[in-house]
Copies of this chain bind each other. A is one copy, B any other.
Amino acid sequence: MARGTETGRARCVGRSLLADAIAPTDAVARQFQLQMIQVRAATEADRDAIWNIFHEIIASGDTYAFDPKMSREEALAYWFRADTHTYVAEKDGRVVGTYILRPNQAGGGSHVANAAFMVAPDAQGSGVGREMAEHCLGQARRMGFRAMQFNFVVSTNAPAIHLWQQLGFKIVGTLPGAFHHPEKGYVDVYVMYRSLLDD
């Protein structure tokens, strides 16, 4: 499977179009849609777009354990931390998603990657999250990580859990009531994990 690289090449470039030509219409439409998504390394010029997505996501307070009042400076310092690789997803030339990839721990834990993903609310459900996740798994393998771990997947975030499970992640831990959801109160949180060695 072709994957995007840090130079910004879309991961779908190089795919055969012949298969698509004989595929059902909805598959063609989906393929076309995905071809419009490019995942690439973030640059300084993406900071405004990233902050806009980040701010909108954390303001809802229902998926991430960030302070909803986190400032732009704090958010971007976290998203562009020295040990962190930062990426964006573009669709029709607009940044609609962003993700980070870094070691989950230092020292004896640094062979396990951690990642976090954010998709602009108006672009959710259009394949952006999956494109970024597959790009992320490829990048993590290339960097030599042996596994990837999500420390804090809120159990009410069904689309995310479904996607991670489709991509081979398993729930390896359940933290009882570890997230205070703005509408649902205290809900469980999952730790999800997958090896990067087995395929």
Interface size bracket, A side:
35 or more
- Contact assessment for A178 and B147 in the assembled complex, using a CB-CB cutoff below 8 Å: yes
A28 to chain B, nearest CB (A): 40
Pick the interface stretch among A4-12, A31-39, A104-112, A132-140: A104-112
Q: Which residues of B are found within 8 Å of A67, using beta-carbon distances?
A: 106-107, 110
- A24 sits at the interface (CB 8 A): no
Known A-B contacts A173-B191, A176-B195, A193-B176; the reply to A65 vs B109 at CB < 8 A is: yes
Q: Which residues of B are found within 8 Å of A152, using beta-carbon distances?
A: 105, 109
* Beta-carbon contacts under 8 Å, A103-137 to B: 104-112
Q: Mark A54-85, 1 if CB is under 8 A from B, else 0.
A: 00001001101111101000000000000000
A38 to chain B, nearest CB (A): 31
- Contact assessment for B178 and A112 in the assembled complex, using a CB-CB cutoff below 8 Å: yes
- A98 sits at the interface (CB 8 A): no
Which residues of A are in contact with B by a Cβ distance under 8 Å?
58, 61-62, 64-68, 70, 104-112, 146-147, 149, 151-152, 154, 172-182, 186, 189, 191, 193, 195
The 19 sampled A-B contact pairs (Cβ below 8 Å) are A62-B108, A65-B105, A65-B110, A67-B106, A68-B107, A105-B152, A108-B154, A108-B181, A108-B182, A109-B189, A111-B180, A112-B178, A146-B186, A151-B151, A172-B174, A173-B174, A173-B175, A175-B191, A176-B195
Q: Which residues of B are found within 8 Å of A65, using beta-carbon distances?
A: 105-110
> Could you tell me the distance between the alpha carbons of A123 and B186 in the complex, rounded to whole angstroms?
40
- Contact assessment for A109 and B179 in the assembled complex, using a CB-CB cutoff below 8 Å: yes
> Could you tell me the distance between the alpha carbons of A181 and B107 in the complex, rounded to whole angstroms?
10
Known A-B contacts A66-B107, A108-B65; the reply to A193 vs B180 at CB < 8 A is: no
Contact with A175, one of B61, B110, B181, B193 (Cβ below 8 angstroms): B193
A36 to chain B, nearest CB (A): 33
Q: Which residues of B are found within 8 Å of A177, using beta-carbon distances?
A: 146-147, 195
